[in-house]
């Protein structure tokens, strides 16, 4: 991948990192705020609603944290010179795929193979 393309993806990733970092912070702040307002005298409905909201915030926060980690790693790969190459087979990843998903580590064929090999039993339980 030429330097200009790399710079293009670096800009996209840096911008995404900025946005998602802000969201992680907001999400954590929201969770803390909910804990802080939970004074223990609410009725049961309010309590369970607060629990549900908190659960959603926590999950959003985890997802955002994972995204931030993915973006971080993509930026590291740009620095290392391995960005845009499939981590499994070493072939260049289609640039249209990278445009759609700048954090992609695998080309479409390997992604499909990896997902197929994970199978049914390995899904995260929610
Ligand atoms: Zn591959």
Concatenated DSSP letters for 62-122?
HHHHHHHHHHHHHHHHHHHT-TTB-TTT-PBPPHHHHHH-TT--S-HHHHHHHHHHH-GGG
Confidence tier at 48 by pLDDT (50, 70, 90): confident
Using alpha carbons, list the distances in angstroms from residue 97 to 9, 102, 104, 107.
Answer: 12, 8, 8, 8
pLDDT at 45: 67
Contact call for residues 13 and 106 (beta carbons, < 8 A): no
Residue 89 alpha carbon to ligand 1 centre in Å: 4
- Using a 10 angstrom Cβ sphere, with 0-12 exposed, 13-18 middle and 19 or more buried, the burial of residue 1 is middle
Q: What is the pLDDT of residues 53-93, one digit of tens each?
A: 888 888 888 888 899 999 999 999 999 999 999 999 999 99
Domains of the chain are: 3-122 (1.20.120.910)
Residue 27 alpha carbon to ligand 1 centre in Å: 35
Q: Note if the pTM is more than 0.85.
A: no
Percent of the chain with pLDDT over 90: 54
Q: What's the whole-number average pLDDT of the chain?
A: 87
Confidence tier at 39 by pLDDT (50, 70, 90): low
Give CA 87 to chain center in angstroms: 18
Residue 72 alpha carbon to ligand 1 centre in Å: 21
């Amino acid at each position: 991948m030429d330097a200009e393309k790399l710079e293009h993806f670096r800009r996209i990733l840096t911008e995404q990192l900025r946005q998602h970092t802000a969201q992680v912070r907001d999400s954590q702040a929201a969770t803390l705020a909910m804990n802080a307002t939970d004074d223990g005298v609410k009725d049961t409905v309010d309590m369970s609603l607060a629990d549900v909201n908190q659960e959603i915030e926590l999950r959003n926060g985890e997802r955002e944290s994972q995204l931030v980690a993915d973006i971080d790693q993509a930026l590291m790969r740009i620095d290392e010179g391995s960005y845009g190459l499939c981590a499994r087979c070493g072939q260049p990843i289609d640039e249209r795929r990278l445009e759609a998903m700048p954090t992609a580590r695998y080309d479409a064929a390997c992604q499909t193979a990896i997902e197929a090999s994970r199978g049914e039993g390995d899904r995260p339980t929610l």
